[in-house]
């Protein structure tokens, strides 16, 4: 389909009718259309956009909740698992310290038996030692030669004196592998005490945390109070390295925060402190999946918004166009009817005026006719009068002029009386000669040659004389207005078919532009500017249609115009 046709369907043009000033209040259809479109678009699009933004916000909130809530639960559950792991070992050491005396635990055989049972039960005990109040390890079971080692100045020894139970950070020591120390203190009176100390292999401990790293893009690890990584991390460094994630101060309750990683990308972290230890559990979730789902949803939502907006806009444009075009058509018909009523009333008044004038003129013409006849009779009765023949010719001239005036007033009366439609047999040649007699003086004054050609033996037609007079006068008036002085107008009457007759009026005037040919029969359209009303050809078209005829026009700018009126021989109903 041609783009211009599509544009015309949805974005119409509302030309100002001839005779109306540009910007006239009555014909602001373009402004009405524009405001109708703006109002409809506003009413339709604002809720649509608001709903789209709200859906996007809610979807983003729901997606974030899908990550935040699982991370929150995961951190809380893992915290309980780690606390249980450490509490089991601390409780086991406390039980051993309370169930055995210093002397019993200092017995190598007894300590080896206890160590063997504890390792069998827990599986991750590396060694065990008993340290007296002076910091000396008096008994030891394990793979290293630590018997007699003194820990009086050790940080962990000082801590256990204060807290009674101590869990160390992960460290290498001279063992050169990551391990944890758990120590419990037992008072034995007289300011004496001993400490039962066990070293834990971190593999089992690490396994609890590593179980959280099940999805790509996620990471879980422990850090100590200084932010040093305590368990293997998938994405954020090695054990005993400084963590690049700035973890806020932790509490025993699991918390969620959204921060930036070292690359500036947003990450969601869940964190909590493991009670009774120096560890803080950190779960890092890179919301790539969130943003991927959000991007997919955003593309779908924008696609829906664009498609629905396009459809809504087309519907609004089309409905607004139809509505305003119907409004324009209704106004055009209303104005056409008003002008026709005005024109009919005007023609009726002109007819009554013409009839009155003709009637008033006929009375003095009758007197002139009688007096001129009397003068002629007196002149004939007086033969001896000089210049008798000249005076008789003058009287004859007066009588002929009176006869001519009577003929004109009779035709004028006949033309004025034809208001109601009356069908009669009409000789088109005689009717056209009668019409040309009305316009003959103008053609003669402007030196316009008007010729009438009629086919021989043309049958009369059944039609309305007055209506046909008006049709032919309007067409000939247009022809005379189109030609310049010295031009020519040719009228041809001939058979057009077995039951039709055609009357062709051809002039050599200025012609009609091609773009205006389709509109010349529209009401109020004129090519004469301020000199025309735009009603002549519209009324002519209506009359020809009413008489069951057809009117056509052909024209070429600079060469002239041809009007063809085709009428049926019998008008019918």
Q: Residue 244: CB partners within 8 Å, gap ≥ 6? A: 236, 237, 261, 262
* Mean pLDDT for back-to-back runs of 10 residues, the chain (573 residues): 49 52 54 84 83 79 73 85 90 92 91 91 89 92 88 89 90 78 90 91 84 72 89 86 84 83 79 90 76 73 84 85 84 77 61 63 72 73 69 74 69 54 83 82 84 89 85 87 88 90 91 80 63 66 85 89 90 58
What pLDDT does 469 receive?
Answer: 85
Torsion of CA 21, 23, 28, 32, to 10 degrees: 170
Q: Residue 528: CB partners within 8 Å, gap ≥ 6? A: 481
What pLDDT does 165 receive?
Answer: 93
Question: Is 435 buried (19+), middle (13-18) or exposed (0-12) by CB count in 10 A?
Answer: buried
* Listed residue (546, 543, 461) closest to 497, CA to CA: 461
In the numeric block, the tokens 């040659």 are attached to 449
The whole-angstrom separation of Cα 287 and Cα 55 is: 20
Phi-psi region of 190 (alpha: psi -120 to 50; beta: other; left: phi over 0): left
The whole-angstrom separation of Cα 470 and Cα 350 is: 13
Three-state SS string over 74-93 comes to HHHHHHHHHHHHHHHHHHHH
What pLDDT does 207 receive?
Answer: 85
Where are the chain's structural domains? 100-204, 421-573
Handedness of CA 16, 22, 28, 30 (dihedral sign): positive
Contact 423, 459 (CB under 8 A): no
What pLDDT does 572 receive?
Answer: 59
What pLDDT does 416 receive?
Answer: 52
What pLDDT does 420 receive?
Answer: 52
The whole-angstrom separation of Cα 464 and Cα 471 is: 11
For the 421-573 domain, the top CATH level (class) is alpha beta
Strand ranges across the sheet with 218-223: 218-223, 280-285, 266-273, 255-260
What pLDDT does 197 receive?
Answer: 93
The two structure tokens encoding residue 362: 């006929």
Alpha-carbon separation of residue 9 from 3, 4, 5, 316, 333 (angstroms): 10, 9, 6, 12, 22
Q: pTM for this structure? A: 0.47
Contact 537, 472 (CB under 8 A): no
For the 100-204 domain, the top CATH level (class) is alpha beta
The whole-angstrom separation of Cα 532 and Cα 478 is: 10
Q: Residue 551: CB partners within 8 Å, gap ≥ 6? A: 521, 540, 541, 544, 563, 564, 565, 566
* Listed residue (257, 218, 223, 263) closest to 243, CA to CA: 223
């Amino acid at each position: 389909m041609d783009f211009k046709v599509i544009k015309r369907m949805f974005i119409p043009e509302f030309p100002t009718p001839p005779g109306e000033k540009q910007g006239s209040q009555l014909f602001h259809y373009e402004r009405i259309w524009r405001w109708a479109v703006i109002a409809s678009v506003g009413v339709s699009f604002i809720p649509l956009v608001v709903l789209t933004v709200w859906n996007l916000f809610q979807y983003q909130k729901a997606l974030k909740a899908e990550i935040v809530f699982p991370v929150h639960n995961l951190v809380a559950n893992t915290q309980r698992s780690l606390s249980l792991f450490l509490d089991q070992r601390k409780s086991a050491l406390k039980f051993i310290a309370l169930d055995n005396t210093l002397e019993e635990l200092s017995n190598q055989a007894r300590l080896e038996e206890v160590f063997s049972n504890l390792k069998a039960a827990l599986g991750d005990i590396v060694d065990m030692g008993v340290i007296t109040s002076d910091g000396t390890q008096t008994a030891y079971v394990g793979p290293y030669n630590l018997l007699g080692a003194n820990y009086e100045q050790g940080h962990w020894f000082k801590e256990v004196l204060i807290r009674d139970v101590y869990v160390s950070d992960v460290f290498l020591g001279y063992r050169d592998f990551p391990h944890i120390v758990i120590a419990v203190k037992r008072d034995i009176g007289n300011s004496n005490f001993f400490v039962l100390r066990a070293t834990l292999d971190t593999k089992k401990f690490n396994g609890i945390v590593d179980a959280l790293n099940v999805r790509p893009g996620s990471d879980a690890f422990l850090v100590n109070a200084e932010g040093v990584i305590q368990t293997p991390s998938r994405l954020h460094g090695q054990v005993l390295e400084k963590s690049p994630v700035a973890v806020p101060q932790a509490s025993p309750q699991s918390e969620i925060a959204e921060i930036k990683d070292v690359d500036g990308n947003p990450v969601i972290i869940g964190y909590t402190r493991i009670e009774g230890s120096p560890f803080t559990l950190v779960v890092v979730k890179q919301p790539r999946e969130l943003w991927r789902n959000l991007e997919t949803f955003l593309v779908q939502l924008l696609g829906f918004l664009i498609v629905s907006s396009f459809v809504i806009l087309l519907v609004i444009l089309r409905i607004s166009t139809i509505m305003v075009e119907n409004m324009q058509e209704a106004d055009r018909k209303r104005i056409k009817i008003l002008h026709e009523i005005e024109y009919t009333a005007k023609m009726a008044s002109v007819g009554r005026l013409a009839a009155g004038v003709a009637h008033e003129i006929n009375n003095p013409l009758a007197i002139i006719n009688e007096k001129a006849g009397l003068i002629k009779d007196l002149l004939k009765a007086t033969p001896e009068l000089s210049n008798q023949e000249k005076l008789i010719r003058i009287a004859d001239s007066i009588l002929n002029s009176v006869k001519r005036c009577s003929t004109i007033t009779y035709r004028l009366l006949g033309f004025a009386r034809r208001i109601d439609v009356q069908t009669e047999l009409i000789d088109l040649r005689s009717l056209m000669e009668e019409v040309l007699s009305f316009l003959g003086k103008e053609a003669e004054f402007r030196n316009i040659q008007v010729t009438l050609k009629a086919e021989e033996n043309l049958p009369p037609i059944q039609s309305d004389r007055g209506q046909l007079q008006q049709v032919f006068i309007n067409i000939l008036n247009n022809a005379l207005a189109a030609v310049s002085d010295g031009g020519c107008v040719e009228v041809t009457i001939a058979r057009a078919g077995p039951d039709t007759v055609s009357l062709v009026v051809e002039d050599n005037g200025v012609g009609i532009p091609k773009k205006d040919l389709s509109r010349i029969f529209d009401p109020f359209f004129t090519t004469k500017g301020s000199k025309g009303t735009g009603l002549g050809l519209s009324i002519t078209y209506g009359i020809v249609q009413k008489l069951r005829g057809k009117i056509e026009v052909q024209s070429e700018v600079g060469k002239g115009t041809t009007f063809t009126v085709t009428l049926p021989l019998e008008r019918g109903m």
